Amino acid sequence: MPKILATGGAGFIGSHVVLELLNSGYEVVVFDNLSNSSVKSIERVGRMSNGAPVFIEGDIRDGAALDALFEAHDIAAVIHLAGLKAVGESVSHPERYYDVNVAGSTCLFNAMLRHGVKHGVFSSSATVYGEPAPETMPMDEHVPTGPVNPYGKTKLMVEQILTDITSVGPGWRSLVLRYFNPVGAHTSGQIGEDPLGFPDNLFPFIAQVATGRRKILNIFGDDYDTPDGTAIRDYIHVMDLARGHVKAIDYLLGSKAVDNETPVVNLGTGHGASVKDVHAAWEAACGFKIAAQVAPRRAGDVTIYCADATKAKEMLGWEAEFDLAKMCEDHWRWQAANPEGYR
């Protein structure tokens, strides 16, 4: 079976993608500098799957390390997940984001060019849509982009770099996947999200309140123009997302993909849930009350973000299967079994 390189494959999304690739029969090489992850995720994936992934510790900004990898392994396609993803940090330290996300991706694409590796899937984010008007919901891929922070800008830049390289490289085919809000964990509870430090995002924060690591959930604003006043997002189970990557690789390596094209595909459920919906679903999953209070709005938050995922269904034959209850149950199983994450 073809061998797939997953940069950032030790991370939250990457570990689930690697597991799903292995269980679909692909061979996998993981390349990760472990700056935001643990090698334990890959060890566990190896124990849970049909075949263990090869793990190489390294940085995507290190061209020589990438050369050594591509010389040692005959890679059919790359799934490029490695990068920095904290919106707040990207505002205070934009240089890190341009260095790792933009320069690092360019270094990777140059190494692919040197070694004749012509297929790439890029982990982008719905955040590239910026602050679209609520009337544009659910958003398809034609909604104009307009990222409002350095993180989002780097994601859009890398989309454009990959698109341009693909457009002229003989035999090149790529895919950009724009994820909405990935949450949950593998249903075994063995692998999951393990944020270092203070969790910025809703699911990991609630998970830490549920285990007692944090005292109370702050609901950021209940005066939005939504049915219950709290903001709405399109949460997607990470295993649905992982399956979407296998479909993306199947597509790129199959007969339907077109040379020199880089389609952009939203991966979301198409269903929105409010912060209060999420809080209630977590209480149901845990079977106990989770302390919460209404707090002021968080700067930069939008009222509603929701995907139109029709293109993913038509082009990749993919659609999300898991609902909010399953996302909370699986996230909670992982967190309860691993209250300190991989540490």
235 given a catalytic annotation: no
Cα distance between residue 70 and residue 212, in whole Å: 45
Among residues 195, 245, 207, 236, the alpha carbon closest in space to that of 19 is found at 245
Which residue among 13, 66, 165, 236 contacts ligand NAD (CB under 6 A)?
13
Cα distance between residue 3 and residue 25, in whole Å: 10
Instruction: Map residues 45-64 to x or -, x wherever contact with ligand NAD holds by CB under 6 A.
Output: --------------xxx---
Angle at alpha carbon of residue 294, lines to 291 and 299, rounded to 5°: 125
> How far is CA 72 from its chain centroid?
27
> How far is CA 174 from its chain centroid?
17
Using the contact rule CB under 6 A, the part of the chain among 42-50, 83-91, 164-172, 249-257 near ligand NAD is 83-91
Q: Is the peptide bond before 138 cis (omega within 30 degrees of 0)?
A: yes
- Give residues 123-182 in contact with ligand UD1 (rule: CB under 6 A): 125-127, 181-182
Task: For the chain, give percent helix, strand, coil, nearest 5.
Answer: 40, 15, 40
Q: Which of 151, 224, 235, 251 is catalytic?
A: 151
Which residue among 275, 304, 306, 307 contacts ligand UD1 (CB under 6 A)?
275
Nearer to ligand NAD, 12 or 109 (CB): 12
Those residues whose C-beta lies under 8 Å from the C-beta of residue 85, and which sit 6 or more positions away, are 125, 151
Which residue among 23, 34, 110, 163 contacts ligand NAD (CB under 6 A)?
34
- Residue 156 is a binding residue for ligand NAD (CB under 6 A): no
Those residues whose C-beta lies under 8 Å from the C-beta of residue 296, and which sit 6 or more positions away, are 220, 221
CB of 201 to ligand UD1, least distance (A): 3
CB of 220 to ligand UD1, least distance (A): 4
- Give residues 93-132 in contact with ligand NAD (rule: CB under 6 A): 100, 104, 123, 125
The contact set with ligand NAD (CB under 6 A) reads 7-8, 10-14, 32-37, 59-61, 81-85, 100, 104, 123, 125, 179, 182
